[in-house]
Amino acid sequence: MVQEKSVITLVGVRQAKKGFAFIHQGPSSNCKGCEYYQVCIKNLETGRVYKVVKLREKVFPCMLHEAGARVVEVVESNILAALPSKLAIEGAVITFRKVDCNVQTCENNELCIPRGLTNGDQCTVLKIGEKILCPNDLSLVKAVLRRLRSS
Protein backbone atom coordinates (compact mmCIF):
# COMPACT_ATOMS: atom_id res chain seq x y z
CA MET A 1 0.00 0.00 0.00
CA VAL A 2 1.32 3.44 -0.93
CA GLN A 3 2.15 5.69 2.03
CA GLU A 4 0.29 8.98 1.77
CA LYS A 5 2.44 12.09 1.63
CA SER A 6 2.20 14.18 4.78
CA VAL A 7 1.39 17.89 4.82
CA ILE A 8 2.99 20.45 7.13
CA THR A 9 0.60 22.63 9.14
CA LEU A 10 0.15 24.15 12.59
CA VAL A 11 -2.10 22.95 15.43
CA GLY A 12 -2.53 24.18 18.96
CA VAL A 13 0.27 23.06 21.29
CA ARG A 14 -2.27 21.21 23.47
CA GLN A 15 -3.61 19.30 20.44
CA ALA A 16 -0.17 18.54 19.02
CA LYS A 17 -0.04 14.84 19.82
CA LYS A 18 0.72 11.99 17.45
CA GLY A 19 -2.60 10.41 16.45
CA PHE A 20 -4.70 13.53 17.21
CA ALA A 21 -7.44 13.82 14.55
CA PHE A 22 -9.38 16.94 13.61
CA ILE A 23 -11.76 18.27 10.99
CA HIS A 24 -10.38 21.33 9.26
CA GLN A 25 -13.12 23.96 9.53
CA GLY A 26 -11.37 26.65 7.52
CA PRO A 27 -9.81 29.87 8.77
CA SER A 28 -11.10 31.88 11.71
CA SER A 29 -11.50 35.64 11.35
CA ASN A 30 -8.49 35.84 13.72
CA CYS A 31 -6.33 34.23 11.02
CA LYS A 32 -6.56 37.15 8.58
CA GLY A 33 -3.22 38.82 8.28
CA CYS A 34 -1.32 36.17 10.27
CA GLU A 35 2.19 35.65 8.96
CA TYR A 36 1.76 31.85 9.34
CA TYR A 37 -1.49 31.67 7.35
CA GLN A 38 0.11 30.06 4.29
CA VAL A 39 1.53 27.06 6.15
CA CYS A 40 -1.25 26.81 8.75
CA ILE A 41 -4.39 27.13 6.64
CA LYS A 42 -3.51 26.95 2.95
CA ASN A 43 -2.15 23.38 3.11
CA LEU A 44 -5.46 21.95 4.37
CA GLU A 45 -8.80 21.42 2.67
CA THR A 46 -11.93 22.56 4.52
CA GLY A 47 -14.18 19.72 5.68
CA ARG A 48 -11.48 17.04 5.60
CA VAL A 49 -10.35 14.97 8.57
CA TYR A 50 -6.62 15.04 9.31
CA LYS A 51 -4.46 13.04 11.71
CA VAL A 52 -1.17 14.21 13.21
CA VAL A 53 1.60 11.75 12.26
CA LYS A 54 4.73 13.67 13.26
CA LEU A 55 5.60 16.51 15.61
CA ARG A 56 8.17 19.15 14.88
CA GLU A 57 9.92 21.29 17.49
CA LYS A 58 8.91 24.79 16.31
CA VAL A 59 6.15 26.63 18.21
CA PHE A 60 4.73 29.97 17.05
CA PRO A 61 2.43 32.51 18.71
CA CYS A 62 -1.21 32.12 17.70
CA MET A 63 -4.33 34.27 18.14
CA LEU A 64 -6.50 31.13 18.53
CA HIS A 65 -4.34 28.95 20.74
CA GLU A 66 -3.29 30.42 24.09
CA ALA A 67 -0.18 28.23 24.35
CA GLY A 68 0.77 28.82 20.71
CA ALA A 69 0.73 26.62 17.62
CA ARG A 70 3.16 23.79 16.94
CA VAL A 71 4.41 22.67 13.55
CA VAL A 72 3.18 19.16 12.75
CA GLU A 73 2.88 16.80 9.82
CA VAL A 74 -0.61 15.47 9.05
CA VAL A 75 -2.24 13.05 6.63
CA GLU A 76 -5.89 12.72 5.72
CA SER A 77 -7.52 10.19 8.01
CA ASN A 78 -9.14 7.01 6.82
CA ILE A 79 -12.93 7.31 7.10
CA LEU A 80 -15.40 4.70 8.36
CA ALA A 81 -18.47 4.86 6.12
CA ALA A 82 -21.49 2.90 4.93
CA LEU A 83 -21.00 1.42 1.49
CA PRO A 84 -23.44 -0.43 -0.78
CA SER A 85 -22.57 -4.13 -0.64
CA LYS A 86 -22.03 -4.27 -4.41
CA LEU A 87 -19.12 -1.77 -4.06
CA ALA A 88 -17.60 -3.55 -1.07
CA ILE A 89 -14.42 -4.96 -2.59
CA GLU A 90 -11.18 -4.42 -0.69
CA GLY A 91 -8.65 -2.59 -2.85
CA ALA A 92 -11.28 -1.23 -5.24
CA VAL A 93 -11.27 2.43 -6.23
CA ILE A 94 -14.80 3.80 -6.03
CA THR A 95 -16.62 7.10 -6.46
CA PHE A 96 -18.08 7.83 -3.05
CA ARG A 97 -21.76 8.73 -2.69
CA LYS A 98 -23.45 9.44 0.63
CA VAL A 99 -26.34 7.07 1.34
CA ASP A 100 -29.60 8.78 0.37
CA CYS A 101 -31.59 8.43 3.59
CA ASN A 102 -34.16 10.49 5.41
CA VAL A 103 -34.02 8.57 8.74
CA GLN A 104 -31.98 11.03 10.80
CA THR A 105 -32.54 9.07 14.01
CA CYS A 106 -30.87 5.95 12.57
CA GLU A 107 -27.91 4.74 14.62
CA ASN A 108 -25.89 4.46 11.39
CA ASN A 109 -26.48 8.03 10.22
CA GLU A 110 -22.85 9.03 10.85
CA LEU A 111 -21.71 6.13 8.65
CA CYS A 112 -24.15 6.97 5.85
CA ILE A 113 -23.19 10.65 5.90
CA PRO A 114 -19.58 10.54 7.14
CA ARG A 115 -17.67 13.69 7.94
CA GLY A 116 -14.62 14.14 5.77
CA LEU A 117 -16.02 12.75 2.52
CA THR A 118 -18.18 14.39 -0.12
CA ASN A 119 -20.10 13.02 -3.08
CA GLY A 120 -17.80 12.36 -6.01
CA ASP A 121 -14.65 11.73 -3.96
CA GLN A 122 -12.50 8.97 -5.40
CA CYS A 123 -11.68 6.51 -2.60
CA THR A 124 -9.83 3.27 -2.10
CA VAL A 125 -11.73 0.64 -0.13
CA LEU A 126 -9.21 -0.39 2.55
CA LYS A 127 -11.29 -2.77 4.65
CA ILE A 128 -14.79 -4.23 4.68
CA GLY A 129 -16.65 -4.63 7.97
CA GLU A 130 -19.95 -6.09 9.06
CA LYS A 131 -23.34 -5.68 7.43
CA ILE A 132 -25.36 -2.64 8.54
CA LEU A 133 -28.96 -3.02 9.63
CA CYS A 134 -30.72 -0.38 7.51
CA PRO A 135 -34.26 0.86 8.26
CA ASN A 136 -34.73 1.44 4.50
CA ASP A 137 -33.71 -2.17 3.68
CA LEU A 138 -30.61 -1.03 1.79
CA SER A 139 -27.82 -3.59 1.48
CA LEU A 140 -24.97 -1.75 3.25
CA VAL A 141 -21.72 -2.68 4.97
CA LYS A 142 -19.23 -0.77 7.08
CA ALA A 143 -16.08 0.09 5.15
CA VAL A 144 -12.85 1.93 5.81
CA LEU A 145 -12.13 4.34 2.98
CA ARG A 146 -9.17 6.50 2.05
CA ARG A 147 -9.80 9.45 -0.23
CA LEU A 148 -7.50 9.70 -3.21
CA ARG A 149 -6.27 13.26 -3.38
CA SER A 150 -6.42 14.84 -6.82
CA SER A 151 -3.07 16.11 -7.99
- Reduced to 3 states, what is the DSSP secondary structure of residue 124? strand
Determine the Cα–Cα distance for residues 148 and 114; give it in Å rounded to an integer.
16
Task: Assess contact for 10 and 36: CB atoms under 8 A.
Answer: yes
Task: Tell whether the model's pLDDT for residue 2 goes beyond 70.
Answer: no
Q: What pLDDT, in 10s, does the model give residues 59-111?
A: 999 988 888 999 999 999 999 999 999 999 999 999 999 998 888 889 999 99
What's the pLDDT score for residue 1? 47
Q: What percent of the chain has pLDDT over 70?
A: 97
> pTM of the prediction?
0.87
Q: Is residue 119 very low, low, confident or very high in pLDDT (cuts 50, 70, 90)?
A: very high
Work out the mean pLDDT of the chain and round it to a whole number: 92
Query: Distance (Å, rounded) from C-alpha 50 to C-alpha 54?
Result: 12
From the list 59, 60, 65, the residue with the least C-alpha distance to 22 is: 65
